[in-house]
Amino acid sequence: MRDAVTTLIQNYDSTGRYLDGDALDSLKSYFDSGLARVQAASIISANAAELVKAAGSQLFQEIPELIRPGGNAYTTRRYAACLRDMDYYLRYGSYALVSGNSAVLDERVLQGLRETYNSLGVPIAPTVIGIQILKALVKEKVAAAGIEDTAFVDEPFDYMLRELSEVSV
């Protein structure tokens, strides 16, 4: 897993360039937000079960057919698998949040996910809604902890949403 620093340096090294003003500004921004990123990850870690449970409850209130007979979260096994997957998105989202790099999401969560879900008949749209709900809940928790600018929280969740929402035409 790479972080924002190693990715930036690798990109400059591969082209044989010194770090320029843009690179240094990017590093400064990353380091300036470092404490908030670590605090947010700590908040996620301490509240993960609560966040996943709340996101699942909200998702099933918004799309109740998921838990009705024939729905993709009907039966205890499927319901548990849905919450397990939400926990994966939250955990890996927290890794990407701290590292400032979404590569871990590709490596550990997103590669092959669409194909797997399609082969199992799992609809992508409710997954996207669940991740949106998780994002909102995390931002609420982070803001409640006194972190004023929560925009950095959007990065990993928005990345997952974009990747899962893309449709080949």
Q: How far apart are CA 89 and CA 160, in angstroms?
A: 8
pLDDT tens digits, one per residue of 141-168: 999 999 999 999 999 999 999 999 865 4
- pLDDT value, residue 169: 40
pLDDT tens digits, one per residue of 19-59: 999 999 999 999 999 999 999 999 999 999 999 999 999 99
Q: How far apart are CA 22 and CA 122, in angstroms?
A: 42
Spans of all domains in the chain: 1-32, 34-165
> Would you say residue 66 has pLDDT above 50?
yes
pLDDT tens digits, one per residue of 96-108: 999 999 999 998 8
Mean of all residue pLDDT scores within the chain:
94
pTM here is 0.90
- pLDDT value, residue 116: 87
Task: Render 75-143 in DSSP notation, one character per residue.
Answer: SHHHHHHHHHHHHHHHHHHHHHHHHT-THHHIIIIITTHHHHHHHHT--HHHHHHHHHHHHHHHHHHHH
Q: Which residue has the higher pLDDT, 127 or 2?
A: 127
pLDDT tens digits, one per residue of 26-37: 999 999 999 999
- The fold of the 34-165 domain, in CATH, is Globin-like (1.10.490)
Least-confidence region, from 112-116, 122-126, 128-132: 112-116
Token readout for 127 is 């997954």
Token readout for 142 is 């982070």
Query: What percent of the chain stands above pLDDT 70?
Result: 98
- pLDDT value, residue 2: 83
